[in-house]
């Protein structure tokens, strides 16, 4: 079971990154062309929002069932950089990334100036993407 969920988490990471980049690119394009923030813009930002929450849910399951997850929590694990990455740094930065994306999505849904709404999506999705990219375990990530 653990191996399957771990592979799903690794595979879905590609989908998540594509969804966030797609949502971000769409918002940038619409901002530059001064388009109104309509239902299609809201749906495109929802793509990144939903993908980040699904990946978080899968990651939470991996964290609970993984031998390098919560069951490995100790002071000794904090001394090893790879264990610390899996145990603390990766989960915390992913949570921060999901929170930033969620905050941007929710704030952009509120009525107001269209340019401001696009800026909110662009800023918060970019910050969320940076947080996510900063702590992906690249050395063991499948290619």
pLDDT tens digit sequence for 62-72: 999 987 777 77
Helix (H, G, I), strand (E, B) or coil at 142: coil
Would you kindly state where each structural domain of the chain is located, as residue ranges? 2-140
Residue 129, token pair as written in the block: 């993407």
What pLDDT is recorded for position 48? 96
pLDDT at 68: 74
Model pLDDT, residue 60: 95
Asked whether 5 and 41 are in contact (CB, 8 A), the reply is no
Residues of the chain with confidence (pLDDT) below 50: none
List the one residue out of 84, 86, 87, 18 whose CA is nearest residue 55.
18
């Amino acid at each position: 079971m653990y191996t399957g969920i771990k592979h799903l988490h690794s595979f879905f990471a590609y989908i998540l990154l594509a969804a966030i980049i797609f949502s971000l690119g769409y918002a940038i394009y619409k901002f530059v062309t001064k388009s109104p923030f309509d239902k299609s813009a809201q749906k495109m930002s929802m793509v990144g929002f939903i993908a980040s929450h699904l990946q978080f849910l899968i990651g939470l399951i991996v964290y609970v069932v993984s031998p390098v997850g919560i069951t490995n929590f100790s002071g000794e694990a904090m001394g090893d950089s790879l264990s610390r990455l899996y145990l603390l740094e990766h989960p915390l930065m992913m949570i921060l990334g999901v929170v930033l994306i969620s905050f941007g999505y929710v704030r952009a849904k509120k009525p107001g100036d269209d340019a401001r709404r696009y800026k909110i999506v662009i800023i918060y999705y970019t910050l969320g993407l940076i947080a996510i990219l900063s702590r992906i375990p690249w050395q063991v990530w499948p290619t």
